[in-house]
Amino acid sequence: MIKTSQMTKQKTRTREIQQILNARYPDVKTQLTHKNPFQLLVATILSAQCTDRQVNAVTGPLFKKFKKPEDFAEADLQTLESLIRPTGFYKNKAKHIKNCANAIVKRFDGHVPATLEELVSLPGVGRKTANVVLGAAYGIPGMVVDTHVARISRRLDLTRSKNPEKIERDLMKIIPEQDWNDFSLRLIFFGRQICKARKPDCGNCFLEHLCYWQDKQKIEA
C-alpha cells in the first residue's frame, strides 16, 4: 500500500514538473542545423563537449564541401580534421564520422537507419546520439540523456542513477512515450539556462519547490 502511495505521489510530482517545463518551453526542437538525417547525425557527433552554436558554425562550410555519406566516407582524414577542429576532440570525431559514413554506405545503402539498434551499431554513435536522430529526424520517441538531462533528473530525484542507460530507462517509466523527445529537450534548455552544473540559479528556478536537494551548494554535477 505504501509503495502504491509513493508511486502515485511520484507520478503526480512528475506531471507537475512536465506541466511547468511545457509552459516555460512550449516549442522545443534541436538547435543543431541540419537538412536531413545524415547531417543531423554528423552534427550530433560533433556536439560532444561542444556548444550547438559552435557546431553550427562548423557544419555550414562542412556540408558545403561534403554533401553525402559517400563524400564523407571518401574524404581525406586530415581535411576533415581541419574543418571540424573548432569543435574539439577533432581527431577522434573525424575518425568516427568517416567510419560512420562508410558503414552507412556499405551496410545501409547510403541511408541513415531509423532504429536504435541499427544506429548504435554505427561507429561513434551511442544511445544519446541515436535518440537525437530518431526523435528529430524520424519523429520516433526516444529519451535523450546528455549531461544536462542526467544532472537535472538526479537533482529532481527522477532517478538515483549516474548511468546514462539506467537514467534513460528510469525516465521512460515515468514520462509518457509521446513526450520523451520533448521532455529531454526541455531539460536540456532548462539546464543551459537555470540548472547549470557548477552554479545552479536556484533563486530564479521555477522548479525549486519541487527540488529534493536540501543543500544546493553541494549538489553533485
Is 215 labeled as catalytic in the residue annotation? no
Is 146 labeled as catalytic in the residue annotation? yes
- Separation CA 191–CA 22 (nearest Å): 14
Q: Helices marked H in 25-89 — which ranges? A: 37-46, 52-65, 69-73, 77-84
Q: Three cell numbers at 81?
A: 580534421
Angle at 73 between CA 68 and CA 77, to 5 degrees: 120
User: Which of the following is catalytic: 29, 64, 93, 146?
Assistant: 146
Q: Are 180 and 142 in contact (CB under 8 A)?
A: yes
- Separation CA 74–CA 119 (nearest Å): 21
Residue 95 DSSP symbol? H
User: Which of the following is catalytic: 68, 71, 76, 128?
Assistant: 128
- Active site positions, annotated: 128, 146
